[in-house]
Amino acid sequence: MTIFLYRGSPRLQYLGPVAPPKTIGSREVHAAIERLAAAIEVRHRRTQDLFVLGIANGGIPLAHRLAERLGIKRVGDLDISFHRDDIGKHPIPKEFAVTLLPGDVNGATVLLVDDVLFTGRTIKAALDELFDHGRPATVELAVLVDRGHRRLPIVADFSGSTIDAADDEDVVVSLHDDPARDRIEIRARRTGAPRAPVTS
């Protein structure tokens, strides 16, 4: 297992094999979030109508952290439950995050935020949900982890880190109220088990 991290440019840096238990600690997680925030800040230093929307569920805490770091007031949540293409296999739970928009998205610049970018299906569902509420001028995507294995033609505009995980592994991001407990785990998927809901 090999991990690559961005350092402010598309060039990747080799960090070597990930030893068991395949856990990336809080220090590395915070560094990845800071790189992500710095890249967004450079591009949107003068953007007046930037909306930051966290994709439920994993993207919500990341979106709020980025908004706080960047001093952005227009931050909200985007629920994709009714747009998932696997809704037949994974029914909507009784308790789920609802879409909360910080204003009218028509004509706005929207930054979608998610924790892990995998197949691209979650992002497609997020776009469907977003456009149900209006027609933004621009939509960009920021993810903490890009793990490859895309199934749809979707690319992140901003990525904090890239993890070379196998298709039969789950990449799970945990962001806590106590930042010292933040971590990223690469877990082997049990035979016959569905993919973890945090993979996008």
Q: What local confidence, expressed as pLDDT, does residue 189 receive?
A: 83
| Two structure tokens written together for 173 | 């991001």
Give 62-79 pLDDT, tens digit per residue. Answer: 999 999 999 999 999 999
Of 74-88, 99-113, 122-136, 159-173, least confident by mean pLDDT is: 74-88
What residue ranges do the domains of the chain occupy? 2-188
Dihedral over Cα of 121, 122, 123, 125: its sign: positive
Look up the pTM and report it: 0.82
Q: Please answer whether residues 197 and 145 qualify as being in contact, where contact means their C-beta atoms are separated by less than 8 angstroms.
A: no
Q: How far apart are the C-alpha atoms of 194 and 120, rounded to whole Å?
A: 16
Amino acid present at 129: E
Q: Which amino acid is at 117?
A: L
Across the range 153-169, mean pLDDT stands at: 94
CATH architecture of 2-188: 3-Layer(aba) Sandwich (3.40)
Mean pLDDT for 8-31 is 65
